[in-house]
Structure 1
Amino acid sequence: MPVPTTAFDESERLIWAGRGPAYADSFAKLCAHPVPRLLDAAGVGPGVRVLDVGTGSGTVAAAACARGATVTAVDAEPTMVELAGRTAPEADVRLAVLPELPFADAEFDAVVANFVLNHVGRPQDTLAELRRVVRPGGRLALTIWAAPPAAGQALIGRAIQAAGAVRPPHLPAGLAAEDDFRRDESGLTGLLRAARLREAECGTLRWDHLATPGEWWSGPAGGVAFGGQMVCGQTPQVQAEIKRHFDTLSAEFATENGLLALPHAALLARARH
């Protein structure tokens, strides 16, 4: 039976609609940082049949192709699918919406999901679907943003809060209580085990993402992700106030060469079917 769509899922579709190019020009480089370790965790190498779920601009798919894997990639947003097709021309890139995938049971040796579980309304149902399409003994590896967020990740949110921005009505407060989980190592490991995945383990990745102030601001200014929708959903006056606070707060992360060194933290988990 089809899994009912939640209000969170519907909001995510609206948030990301048409945002592929803006994402590629802003946050895609940030999200690319864990890719080598993500592929290592999934055992991706020559001849491995791998599914890249929520491929975004195709960075993971392209890296898996470079390792000699046979790659299928999916995303729910058409502009992302178009981008990924250009980034990873050797991959089979398709439009598909979690938590239902157009693949047979046990079709893949490995499944990877880079910062995808943050964007689904029912994470447990999503993991059950990923488990379904990976063969027995096959591997699953995923990343999510840790909570509370690291200082660099919190910068835009701090500017939004300091400006007194009001949440637009199309943005949900978050997952339903019964669907949520702790965004730490034990919380994510528990979620994987609850999905009947074996040998589940999780670690934390920490790094400083380097970007110019203009590059980092271009994401929210372009409406990318939740923070971008918060910015673009304000009046011009409030948007200007958010930018003023962003410029002020950015000084905390400024380097001598004019870049921002933005601390980030993500969880990297792996498990087997």
Structure 2
Amino acid sequence: MTNTGEAPEESSAQVAAETPFDASERRAWAGRAAAYAVGFGRLCAYTVPRLLDAAGVTEGSRVLDAGTGTGTAAAAACVRGARVAAVDAEPDMVRSAAAAAPGAAVRLAALPQLPFGDGTFDAVVGNFVLNHVGRPRAALAELRRVTRPGGRIALTVWAAPPAPGQALLGRAVRAAGVPRPPDLPTLAPEEDFPRTEQGLAELLRTAGRLTEVTCSAVSWEHRTTPEEWWHGPASGVATIGRVVISQGPAATERIRRHFLDLAAEFTATDGQLVLPHTALMASGQVAG
């Protein structure tokens, strides 16, 4: 596969498939690949080795990394000797992933419409991609479509309720009295699903029509610094970042002060933050 790192224009069908949630997510991530990589990107990298194992990624596997972000999973799959394609809905992420995974074919594409034929891949992985799509069930159906019979799909999402480290930034926002902007949509209720082991497993069984589904919680302590952890949201990264910057510099500074106060309970003797996080990892097989 050839990696061009190009970010071609999307088709009108892709744009038409967007929900308000999808459009909001695209705005939240636009041009923020670098800010994501040094903060939240390092956090999300923790699950990548287990995700590739769950999908059965080995040498020679044809692999799709859906929602590749800055290309961490795609690069790791290349190291295993897999033949890797990767997609992301944000052009800046596509360019970043192309640089991080020069052995992968990286292109611009958004779930639930992918530019691949039926049964193209032996394995499909999505590291937290379901957190960022407006139609999770349609996204799963599309991932199943591009996976061959007998192939595997492995996905991660954040658990709910969130682990203490994951909740830190939200606590700071609430302490500062900054509300969620009214123009920031949430996932439609009919599209949401329980962010539990049982809830994610059932989603794979029903929407993805997968067999041999397993799901388990993955917990770890993410080590970072207060400066690094604050940089992402202060740069507008992700939904939390859009909330942090939504009311201007004075409100952002108020949130920052509360963040530093609350961060004290997670601060180790060396000054680093030790933030407990929990994700859910599920995988299943496409029936023959």
Q: TM-score, normalised by structure 1?
A: 0.98
Q: Does 1:65 pair with 2:78? A: yes
Cα distance in 1 between the residues matched to 2:182 and 2:106: 33
After TM superposition, give the deviation of residue 19 of structure 1 in Å: 1.1
After TM superposition, give the deviation of residue 234 of structure 1 in Å: 1.5
Partner residue in 2 for 1:187: 199
Residues 157-195 of structure 1 show CA distances to partners (whole Å, capped at 9, x for unaligned) of 0000100102223311x2111111000000000101112
After TM superposition, give the deviation of residue 4 of structure 1 in Å: 3.2
One-letter identity of the residue aligned with 1:20: A
Q: Does 1:156 pair with 2:169? A: yes
After TM superposition, give the deviation of residue 91 of structure 1 in Å: 0.4
**Does the residue aligned with 1:135 lie in a helix, a strand or coil?**
strand
For residues 105-254 of structure 1, the aligned pairs below 5 Å read 105-172=118-185, 174-195=186-207, 196-254=209-267
Residues 98-139 of structure 1 show CA distances to partners (whole Å, capped at 9, x for unaligned) of 110000000000000001000011100000000000000100
Match of 1:97 among 89, 101, 110: 110
Match of 2:278 among 255, 265, 272: 265
Cα distance in 2 between the residues matched to 1:70 and 1:164: 48
Report if the CA contact (8 A) 1:166-1:234 is conserved: no
Residues 182-214 of structure 1 show CA distances to partners (whole Å, capped at 9, x for unaligned) of 000000001011121111110000000000110
Report if the CA contact (8 A) 1:47-1:68 is conserved: yes
Cα distance in 2 between the residues matched to 1:166 and 1:158: 12
Partner residue in 2 for 1:32: 45
Identity %: 62
Quote the RMSD (CA, aligned, Å). Answer: 1.1
One-letter identity of the residue aligned with 1:46: E
One-letter identity of the residue aligned with 1:185: E
Gaps of 5+ in 1: none
Cα distance in 1 between the residues matched to 2:43 and 2:108: 23
Cα distance in 2 between the residues matched to 1:170 and 1:74: 27
Q: Does 1:255 pair with 2:268? A: yes
Match of 1:18 among 27, 31, 53: 31
**Does the residue aligned with 1:33 lie in a helix, a strand or coil?**
helix
**Does the residue aligned with 2:269 lie in a helix, a strand or coil?**
coil
One-letter identity of the residue aligned with 2:86: A
Report if the CA contact (8 A) 2:74-2:86 is conserved: yes
Gaps of 5+ in 2: 1-12
Cα distance in 1 between the residues matched to 2:168 and 2:106: 33
Cα distance in 2 between the residues matched to 1:25 and 1:17: 16
After TM superposition, give the deviation of residue 235 of structure 1 in Å: 2.5
One-letter identity of the residue aligned with 2:192: D
Q: Does 1:50 pair with 2:59? A: no
One-letter identity of the residue aligned with 1:150: A
After TM superposition, give the deviation of residue 248 of structure 1 in Å: 0.1
Report if the CA contact (8 A) 2:17-2:112 is conserved: no
Cα distance in 2 between the residues matched to 1:264 and 1:25: 17
Q: Does 1:5 pair with 2:15? A: no
Report if the CA contact (8 A) 2:193-2:199 is conserved: yes
After TM superposition, give the deviation of residue 18 of structure 1 in Å: 0.9
Cα distance in 2 between the residues matched to 1:118 and 1:205: 16
Cα distance in 2 between the residues matched to 1:168 and 1:14: 14
**Does the residue aligned with 2:86 lie in a helix, a strand or coil?**
strand
Cα distance in 1 between the residues matched to 2:182 and 2:93: 25
Number of aligned residue pairs? 272
Cα distance in 2 between the residues matched to 1:251 and 1:166: 23
One-letter identity of the residue aligned with 2:259: F
After TM superposition, give the deviation of residue 150 of structure 1 in Å: 0.3
After TM superposition, give the deviation of residue 13 of structure 1 in Å: 1.0
